[in-house]
Structure 1
């Protein structure tokens, strides 16, 4: 299994959001909901319009843990989201595929996680990112909540269903960041790197 990283640079996140907003609104909303909610990709893909229409929060039962969760719809995303769903039915998936399913011929199902993965990797390539995957959105959300305020660690542990702080820090790539900083400061020469 490939270990994926959060997107650490807020300017890159802003660039990705601007790029997706002008390229494909569906993908913009998918990316934005992911980095603003911390939902797993499978939970994002199963969202239906009625879960976000005229609401301030998304309430759902997580697919993996079967726990009930509630997430605020970020105010920055709300106007674009409202416009995006304006002509959609309440029963529609929020991120519908434009293609018919090969075996059943059914149209209107959500995009598959491999489609989401491909979209994220195309964007990652455009912005010079590596180690990007479906968990990147969730990790980006957690990483920036932690960087904003390390006291959010207990909240993140609960949100991620982790039993130890070390698991959460490793999951967010913060353990690696700390190791990288420590090793960079290590010097055996007389001129110490500060």
Structure 2
């Protein structure tokens, strides 16, 4: 498995969303847009049930860490979630698979991680970026850090335990640090 990147250019973030919508449909674009705004691991993002969402807040237990994540939904995430709920009032999952509705005696399931991964990777190849399912989470962390320069805030949002892990995760490299020293003269 190759290392995936944060999307550092905001125009590229929009382009990826547009290409996902054009190539794979609205549901995949919604995954990208909600994923960018919630900064969850893909397994947690795909496991979101409508019952986990109460007004403007999402509450779920993270699969990897077992930590309770309580996330206040921003306007963009709320609009997308409300539209999905209105279009699919009988769905259990926010990103529910349509395959199972024709299967007899099968309950609803979310989209598979593999399908989402292939779609995002494919668009990454098209735009020349190493993209994967973690790119949404990394992109959110990267842009929060660039806007605030507050690594503690980014760590808290991503629920990381170490600054070094967070910096490496969001793609802050030694070149970025060197550039900061050169560009900021006091």
- Normalised to the residue count of structure 1, the TM-score between the two structures is 0.79
Does the Cα contact within 8 Å between 2:58 and 2:73 map onto a contact in 1?
Answer: yes
Does the Cα contact within 8 Å between 1:49 and 1:88 map onto a contact in 2?
Answer: no
After TM superposition, give the deviation of residue 163 of structure 1 in Å: 3.2
After TM superposition, give the deviation of residue 119 of structure 1 in Å: 1.2
Matched ranges for 1:4-19 at <5 A: 4-19=4-19
Structure 2 gaps of 5+ residues are: none
Counterparts of 1:171 and 1:111, CA distance in 2: 25
Greater Cα offset, 14-23 or 62-71: 14-23
Structure 1 gaps of 5+ residues are: 186-194
Matched ranges for 1:127-146 at <5 A: 127-129=127-129, 131-146=130-145
Aligned twin of 2:27:
26
In structure 2, relative to structure 1, the CA distance for the partners of 1:13 and 1:64 (3 Å cut) is same
Number of residue-to-residue matches in the alignment: 179
Counterparts of 1:84 and 1:9, CA distance in 2: 27
Secondary structure of the structure 1 residue equivalent to 2:75: coil
Specify the structure having the higher radius of gyration (Cα).
1
In structure 2, relative to structure 1, the CA distance for the partners of 1:93 and 1:176 (3 Å cut) is farther
Aligned twin of 1:76:
76
Does the Cα contact within 8 Å between 2:20 and 2:119 map onto a contact in 1?
Answer: no
Secondary structure of the structure 2 residue equivalent to 1:96: coil
Query: Which has the larger helix fraction?
Result: 2
Secondary structure of the structure 2 residue equivalent to 1:97: coil
Aligned twin of 2:41:
40
Counterparts of 1:5 and 1:180, CA distance in 2: 20
After superposing on structure 2, the runs of 4+ consecutive aligned residues of structure 1 that deviate more than 4 Å are 179-182
After TM superposition, give the deviation of residue 140 of structure 1 in Å: 0.6
After TM superposition, give the deviation of residue 150 of structure 1 in Å: 0.5
Secondary structure of the structure 1 residue equivalent to 2:173: helix
In structure 2, relative to structure 1, the CA distance for the partners of 1:150 and 1:114 (3 Å cut) is same
Q: CA RMSD in A?
A: 2.8
